[in-house]
Structure formats: structure tokens, C-alpha cells
Amino acid sequence: MAIAAPLATAIAAALSAEAPQMLCQPNRRLLVQYVDTDVVALDLDAFRAGRTPEVHLPAP
């Protein structure tokens, strides 16, 4: 049995060092990607509503 899901949104992942990870907390979904110099976080719910940019943090 095949199930087809429609595309809800497309996010360009500019970083290529590691695959993005989805972190789910109550009332919040974050897309996080680690690279050599940065950790990038994106609040998916706020992104879909057009309210937030991605956040770049220095990698530990």
C-alpha cells in the first residue's frame, strides 16, 4: 500500500557538512544542522508563518 504525502514546505539547507536533524519539543519543532564552524537552528512553525530567520551559533 503506497501513501503519497503532499509537500508542505521546502527549506534550502545551505550547509552541507551534516544532514539536518528535526528536534521536537512540546509546541516547538526545530530543524538543526551541525557543521564545522556553525550550528544552525530554524523554528519551523515560525518559519512557515514568515516570522523568523535561521539562527547561526558558533560550533562548540
Q: What is the pLDDT, as a whole number, of residue 46?
A: 81
Q: Where are the domains of the chain?
A: 21-58
**Residue 11 above 80 pLDDT?**
no
* pLDDT higher than 70, residue 33: yes
What confidence category does residue 9 fall into, taking pLDDT thresholds of 50, 70 and 90? low
With cut-offs at 50, 70 and 90, classify the pLDDT of residue 59. confident
C-alpha cell at 1: 500500500
Mean pLDDT of 39-52: 81
Percent of residues, the chain, with pLDDT higher than 70: 67
Amino acid at 1: M
Cα–Cα dist 26/16, whole Å: 28
Set of cell numbers at residue 15: 550547509
User: In Å, how far from its chain's centre is CA 28?
Assistant: 12
